[in-house]
Amino acid sequence: MKTIFSRDTSSHGRFFIITQGAYLIGLIVHSILAVIFYLISIKELMWFNILYSIPAFIIAQTLNKKGKYNIAFSIVFTALFIHQIIGIIFLGWGFGFQYLLFYLIGLTFFNIYWSNKIRIIMLMIIILSYEGLYFFLKNAQVYTLSDIHRQLFHLSASAGLMIAIAFLTNYYVQAAIKAEKNLERKNQFIKKTFGKYLSDNVVNNILETPEGLKLGGEKRKVTILMSDIRGFTKISENLPAENVIAILNDYLETMTEIILKYNGTIDEFIGDAILVIFGAPYSESDDSQRAVACALEMQKAMKQVNVLNKTNGYPELEIGIAINTGEVVVGNIGSDKRAKYGVVGKDVNLTSRIESYTIGGQILISENTYKECENILEISDTEKVMPKGLNKPINIFDVTGIQGKYNVRLEKKDIEWQVLDTPIKITFSVFREKDIYDEICIGRVTKISEKYFELKSDTKLDKLDNLKIMFNKNSNEEIYGKVVKLVYHKEQKYIVNITSSSNKIFLK
């Protein structure tokens, strides 16, 4: 059994105030009892109060002021216990002193400094003393008093017991109510503070399980979603900081609503990237399906985001999303002073690698995720890739829709090409895994669309190669792109997606 109060400063203060007042009342009552016992000529109880009970309350008050709460309480508790025993021995069972043993039971749980072991020992002593006195001294008494005295003592003892029970009951009830209110305030504070960053699932896990805030984790199968704004670094370089933050906040607010709608756990925002977990802290049978449906709705919501951006005079955004399913370590990671609920493992890294292959408006999923929900997926393309850290190639799938209960799909858009009267001569460098190769390649742009251009070059390129493109007429003009299609006829042609800047740069 745990005490109602933890041992903090407020608990010490409450305990001091209540016991200090109780010791003063005890001092007054036992001083009056000493006089009463003198008047009715019960010298033993008179001297016991004078020599032990009254000094015990005085000493307890002094020790209490010095912060020695436990010693003070133990002295008074012992004095009260002995006083009731002696009262029963000298006056007999009919005077009601046995009732006063009962409120000592309540006091055993009142002391916040006693361990459970001490409480149980004191409880057993009180119970055994009561039973022993009942069976062996029920009809014995040293002094015989008049009926009026016996009735007054009996009524006084009964009234004292009732007052003590009422006081202790009120104390425990008020303490419980206050503790519940404090807990509710803390819970509301946690929900209000961390609910901005964590999903309701994680917050509730922290609040409802005793181990919710403990460091440590567990291995479990989850589906990981990672999204990133294409070319956001370039966008942020050309805008004031406050505008960059405003764009991000509007975008993340929209995405967060969708993620939480599909019961995703937002692990963290990494700049313009979002890392989401499906399957932790609580897993469902359709984690992978919900992740895919969530990604599709996130892509569809970019239209709404860009309407707002256009209204505010901001550039349009595009995001790439990757989804992977695998076993990770999930839990509270960090130190006692600072921790976060997150995931670690090779499948988190693989998700990041897959995300690097995406272009704006695209969702790529791993083989594991595909196998989880292949019968209801709409796939536009499949590509074999060799991500860094793997020993063999894997297939990734370009998802455009999901059937079944979620029934979400992307709008199909045809590319509207503009053929250039005069091809634009460019130079470009190829980079993979963010490492740019020194070789400068030459090519010509023959036609353009809103997000793509056709590149002719003698340089052999692979699908998903990233390009840094420079213009001979002005070396400061550059864009980034990704090869999304290979077209081999009489010469090598490539369809390149523009991942930063726009096609307007070709028209200058």
Other beta carbons less than 10 A from residue 325's beta carbon = 25
Q: What is the pLDDT of residue 502?
A: 54
**Percentage of the chain modeled with pLDDT above 90:** 34
> Which residues lie below 8 Å from residue 147, measured CB to CB, with a gap of 6+?
none
Distance CA 47, CA 57 (A): 15
Report the alpha-carbon distance of residue 465 to residue 481 in Å, rounded: 8
Structure tokens at 16: 């001091």
Closest CA to 295 of 203, 414, 195, 377: 377
| Tokens read off for 292 | 């895919």
What's the mean per-residue pLDDT of the chain? 82
Q: Which residues of 219-234 are buried (b: 16+ CB within 10 A; e: fewer)?
A: ebbbbbbbbbbbbbee
Highest mean pLDDT among 271-280, 463-472, 498-507: 271-280
Residue 281: is the preceding peptide bond cis (ω within 30°)? Answer: yes
Check if the beta carbon of residue 42 is closer than 8 Å to that of residue 143.
yes
427: nearest Cα among 419, 435, 416, 438: 438
Domain-by-domain residue ranges, the chain?
11-178, 217-409, 418-498
**Domain boundaries 418-498, corresponding CATH code:** 2.40.10.220
Model confidence at 236: pLDDT above 80: yes
pLDDT of residue 168: 65
Residue 222 scores a pLDDT above 90: yes
**Confidence class for position 114, pLDDT limits 50, 70, 90:** confident
Q: For residue 8, what pLDDT band results from cuts at 50, 70 and 90?
A: very low
Fold identical between 217-409 and 418-498? no
- What is the rounded CA–CA span in Å between residue 328 and residue 305? 32
Q: Name residues whose C-beta falls within 8 Å of residue 152's C-beta, 6 or more positions apart in sequence.
A: none
* Least confident window among 47-56, 248-257, 443-452, 486-495: 486-495
Alpha helices, DSSP H, located in 338-456? 346-356, 367-373
What's the pLDDT score for residue 34? 87
Expressed in percent and rounded to 5, the helix, strand and coil fractions of the chain are 50, 25, 25
Confidence category of residue 47, pLDDT binned at 50, 70, 90: very high
- CATH for 217-409 is 3.30.70.1230
pTM here is 0.64
Between 276 and 439, whose confidence is greater? Answer: 276
In 3-state terms, what secondary structure has residue 500?
strand
